[in-house]
């Protein structure tokens, strides 16, 4: 049996208005994506000018500027463990004209170490794309007398709690990488936090006050090239092209990887059409050989991802680091 619903004149007019409104909204969204960007775009980062992340962001911003014909401006908002940059980005209009190049520490950190961190997707931001990863280098001062990671582990087991390692910030990836190493290797090290970056740590290493440092390549390049540091292993999934003789940590401790990374996100509510356009254009930029080579010189390795892949990656990272974070939080 078929039923027919007869609508009065007012009901038909209301239904027609809804359908027209829906069609117009869809058309506006498509047009918005096609015309984007129509003015300069801001990219917020939580690092200071001249830092490795700043250099990386400017390489990407320059190529997006060329692709869009609109300037992509870098806004540096360091401090607060990333909370300042997060607040600036999250409070911006969700129109695609403010993007946030967020670091791993914004998503993987100790709760309470910085306001409103760690972040969750898609609760706090909309994922756009993955920019690069920065595997952690595990390095020692030559005076410690070790040349490999197994040698360091063996020495640490003989001297529990005596060997110190520098970490640029409590609860950040450098710190958590050291904690993960201790957890998986069954050793006890002494963490020494630094808020002024790896340069301060290197001064203490040269002075013999710290024996181990865990940091991305850009922060250790001078020490490694000058012989002040001996690289023991790298936290990448496989040996790096520029360091074929440097073992990965996983060659000693299977499955252990550790590194920072940066993803591009936008305020919640940013139209899907704009998110998809930025994601596609970002992938094209990152696939350029010149961009890959420039970033590799500062220890950043590109890894293009779709918005959905970024979401899954961050969720996996948060689960990976959860036991370490819980262990650190339980310490005095």
- Give the pLDDT of residue 200: 80
Residues 6+ apart with CB under 8 A from 307: 126, 127, 128, 129, 275, 276, 279
Looking at the predicted structure, is the pLDDT value of residue 23 above 80? Answer: no
Q: Domain of 227: which CATH number?
A: 3.40.190.10
Question: What count of other Cβ atoms lies within 10 Å of the Cβ of residue 163?
Answer: 20
- Give the pLDDT of residue 241: 87
Which of 112-116, 147-151, 302-306 comes out lowest in average pLDDT?
112-116
Same domain, 166 and 100: no
Calpha distance 86→200 (Å, rounded)? 26
Average pLDDT over residues 38-47: 96
Report the run of H or E that residue 10 belongs to, with start and end. Answer: helix 9-35
101 belongs to a structural domain:
yes
Q: For a pLDDT cut of 90, what percent of the chain falls above it? A: 72
Split at pLDDT 50, 70, 90, the class of 115 is confident
CB-side neighbour CA atoms (13 Å) of 286: 23
Q: Where does a domain end: 199, 234, 251?
A: 251
30 belongs to a structural domain:
no
Place of tokens 């074929």: 244
For 278-309, give the DSSP string: HHHHHHHHHTSHHHHHHHHTTT-EE----HHH
Same domain, 129 and 145: no
Same domain, 277 and 290: yes
Average pLDDT over residues 218-236: 93
pTM of the model: 0.85
| Residues 93/267, Cβ–Cβ less than 8 Å | yes
Tokens of 161: 């709690």
| Parent domain of 85 | 37-134+259-330
- Give the pLDDT of residue 114: 80
31 belongs to a structural domain:
no
Q: What is the dihedral of CA 107, 110, 116, 122, to 10 degrees?
A: 30
Same domain, 230 and 188: yes
Split at pLDDT 50, 70, 90, the class of 192 is very high
Q: What is the pLDDT of residues 256-289, one digit of tens each?
A: 999 999 999 999 999 999 999 999 999 999 999 9
Split at pLDDT 50, 70, 90, the class of 97 is very high
Tokens of 248: 């990965």
Which of 85-89, 164-168, 251-255, 313-317 comes out lowest in average pLDDT?
164-168
């Amino acid at each position: 049996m078929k039923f027919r619903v007869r609508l009065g004149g007012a009901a038909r007019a209301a239904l027609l208005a809804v359908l027209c409104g829906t069609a117009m909204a869809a058309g506006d969204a498509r047009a918005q994506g096609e015309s984007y960007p129509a003015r300069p775009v801001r990219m917020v980062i939580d690092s200071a000018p001249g830092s490795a992340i700043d250099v990386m962001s400017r390489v990407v911003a320059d190529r997006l500027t060329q692709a869009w014909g609109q300037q992509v401006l870098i806004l540096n908002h360091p401090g607060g463990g990333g909370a300042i940059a997060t607040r600036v980005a999250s409070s911006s209009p969700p129109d695609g004209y403010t993007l946030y190049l967020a670091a791993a520490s914004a998503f993987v950190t100790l709760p309470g170490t910085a306001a409103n961190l760690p972040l969750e997707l898609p609760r706090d931001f909309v994922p756009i794309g993955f920019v690069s990863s920065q595997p952690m280098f595990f390095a020692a001062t030559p005076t410690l007398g070790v040349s490999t990671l197994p040698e360091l582990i063996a020495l640490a087991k003989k001297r529990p709690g005596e060997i110190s390692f520098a970490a640029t910030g409590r609860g950040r990836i450098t710190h958590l990488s050291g904690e993960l190493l201790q957890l998986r290797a069954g050793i006890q090290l002494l963490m020494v936090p630094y808020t002024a970056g790896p340069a301060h740590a290197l001064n203490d290493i040269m002075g013999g006050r710290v024996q181990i440092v865990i940091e991305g390549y850009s922060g250790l390049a001078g020490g490694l090239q000058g012989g002040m540091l001996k690289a023991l292993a790298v936290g990448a999934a496989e040996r790096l092209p520029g360091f074929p003789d440097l073992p990965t940590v996983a060659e000693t401790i299977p499955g252990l990887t550790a590194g920072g990374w940066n993803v591009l996100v936008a305020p919640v509510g940013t139209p899907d059409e704009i998110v998809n356009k930025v994601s596609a254009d970002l992938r094209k930029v990152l696939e350029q050989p010149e961009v890959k080579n420039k970033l590799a010189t500062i220890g950043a390795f590109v890894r293009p991802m779709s918005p959905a892949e970024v979401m899954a990656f961050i969720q996996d990272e948060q689960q990976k680091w959860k036991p370490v974070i819980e262990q650190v939080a339980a310490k005095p």
